[in-house]
Structure 1
């Protein structure tokens, strides 16, 4: 170990002055608290973003292809013409997606009706695994639908009960506009785990939805499942090389882009705000080192007299700040990662799923986040040590030792 590091450690461990020992402890605790708070906050933000993405991927297709002009009637030939040869695509299915009203007795709510081929939907979104009552296969019958659990609660219905669906796409008559009404039966109740879906979802088979919305042989679009949902941008670019106007390709990240951008921006803002804790702690380090330099003037004068240069003295005081930073950062990392581990393992932070779309807050931290916190902490500690170290290195031995 270099001599200047040994001297730096000795100065920090010196207990001659209780005030300086106390300042050392306070400086160390400031770094510990700042690093731990930064880690936990980043874990909260990353965990929330991870949870949102997980819920979205459980209920949404990875890529959707729409036709923005005219009826999408060529969907049967579309896969063979455009999707063939893209190895990342696992499966595809046409779908109908539209708004309607659902009513029971005097209760009326707005719902989203989704029509799909039942067998295809099993493989793409695994909707059948989320059924909590009834049977997914019931929608093979045109008279049956699957409804979200909160739709069932709002309408006060159960398996076998009837509800009335009203389509906005009715027909015009000489007497005026007549909405299309259909009586259907609850064949299954589904739990997505997301209030936004559970409170609006009505599922039926594709042909039934096409008839209900007077779409004839047209669909809203085609949804794709790919082997890795995080490759959606790559697959989208491959599709856009083949597919042009009037078709539009959107990935699950595009459809939720504003949400993800807002969360990433909030994560960055929280990092910058909480980094101020470490910055404030660094002021304590500067104050401590300046006081230490004044206390050790005699030692500095002696060291310079026996041959130590200004760089050697500067390194002594720089390393005092770095040792506080390294020790505080290490302890803060251990505390922060421990809290993150237990918080995520035992689901300590409960959430209202109707508001946050998840029942508990997952805590996730990546290597990049840990590295960013560590580097930021060490950099702040280093910078806060530069001025005191420079001041100490400029001491003149003759002036220091004149009255000794």
Structure 2
């Protein structure tokens, strides 16, 4: 054990006349622990919000949308082959989307109707019976052959608004209809509820509904036509580059939009919120660091004679400075370790038992998401230790600048 480390550990031991200083050390350690714990929990929740929203959004939305300026697309299969030939593209699915009204015997609500071809890849959505979106759309074909109405898949929130369940009738009202500009009649078609999905976000569970592509083509009189293609890529963070590559490959008049571009404001807000919360909660650690500085200053005043004796015995200014720096760093590291363990345990409890419920209308999600990342914990730990180190510099420098003669005379 080195001389400076031995003296630092000795000064950490409490004596009766140093009880007040020891109390300050204990409060500083507790303050560091509370600050680190709060930082870990809050950053884990913000990271969980970002990750969970991204996962759920991309579960119902695509990574890239490919469309054509001002007109629908007719050469469907040829365009799909061209898109899927671009490096990084996993699959491409034709779709039609339009805003409609859904009406039941108990209510009316608006919805974004999206139509897919079950023979191509569909969004990874599962309905209440455990079957996927594609399987539910295919299963509806058998029922239609028996003379039943086409199947419509709606969200949990929509089902609650309309008070409908599996197999109940539901009417779809499309805003575009036959007739001239002054005599347009809405199209009305009878459907039945073929499935109810729930992804945990009210924005989607109460807004989207799904149906087979050929049904909507008949409803909107768009035979052999689609609005565009939903593309899924192998690396979601390379979606902008892949979208540009698709547009270059297809040429004008095609255009492409990626999920990062579409939701840029939302995820930028979440990242900014994470930074702001980190800065605000770091103030807790800063206050605890002031306690470390106060304890060291008081100890320097208490140990004036000891410092002078150590210097007369050959200790250099560097030795004295390191003694008090080590003492402050030990307090900071112990507090950081305790706070890290408490933060990790609380995050594990919140993740295992999601007992905190949220309003889906306000927070998008219905439960509190928690995701603890090693990089976040590392940044929090390094920042805390750095703050504690900065708090030790002034007391340690003051102790090292003490003259032995003055220390012995006035100590």
TM-score > 0.5, shorter chain as reference = yes
1:41-87 per-position Cα deviation (integer Å, ceiling 9, x unaligned): 1111111212112211221222221223332223321122343152x
Is this contact kept in 1: 2:201–2:366, CA < 8 A? no
Helix, strand or coil for the counterpart of 1:266?
helix
Match of 1:196 in 2: 203
TM-score, normalised to structure 1's length? 0.91
Match of 1:22 in 2: 23
Match of 2:381 in 1: 374
**Aligned equivalents of 1:365, 1:161: Cα separation in 2:** 43
1:46 aligns with 2:47: yes
1:294 aligns with 2:301: yes
When structure 1 is superposed on structure 2, of 14-23 and 69-78 the one drifting more is 69-78
**Aligned equivalents of 1:315, 1:292: Cα separation in 2:** 14
Match of 1:343 in 2: 350
When structure 1 is superposed on structure 2, of 293-302 and 194-203 the one drifting more is 194-203
Helix, strand or coil for the counterpart of 1:336?
helix
Match of 2:9 in 1: 9
Helix, strand or coil for the counterpart of 1:119?
coil
**Aligned equivalents of 1:174, 1:298: Cα separation in 2:** 98
Matches within 5 A, 1:126-145: 126-127=124-125, 129-132=126-129, 135-140=136-141, 141=144, 143-145=150-152
Match of 2:64 in 1: 63
**CA RMSD between the two structures:** 2.3
**Aligned equivalents of 1:48, 1:25: Cα separation in 2:** 35
Aligned residues: 400
Displacement of 1:237 in angstroms is 4.7
**Aligned equivalents of 1:100, 1:193: Cα separation in 2:** 22
1:11-65 per-position Cα deviation (integer Å, ceiling 9, x unaligned): 1213231111111111111111111111111111111212112211221222221
Change (3 A) 1:101 1:268: same
Change (3 A) 1:389 1:39: same
1:113 aligns with 2:109: no
Is this contact kept in 2: 1:169–1:214, CA < 8 A? no
Match of 2:96 in 1: 96
Helix, strand or coil for the counterpart of 1:185?
strand
**Aligned equivalents of 2:267, 2:169: Cα separation in 1:** 39
Displacement of 1:300 in angstroms is 1.0
Match of 2:255 in 1: 248
When structure 1 is superposed on structure 2, of 152-161 and 162-171 the one drifting more is 152-161
Displacement of 1:228 in angstroms is 4.3
**Aligned equivalents of 1:174, 1:240: Cα separation in 2:** 34
Displacement of 1:233 in angstroms is 4.2
1:279 aligns with 2:286: yes
TM-score, normalised to structure 2's length? 0.90
Change (3 A) 1:3 1:77: same
Structure 1 runs, 4 residues or longer, greater than 6 Å off: none
**Aligned equivalents of 1:81, 1:396: Cα separation in 2:** 81
Helix, strand or coil for the counterpart of 1:76?
helix
**Aligned equivalents of 1:107, 1:301: Cα separation in 2:** 86
Matches within 5 A, 1:233-244: 233-244=240-251
Is this contact kept in 1: 2:127–2:195, CA < 8 A? no
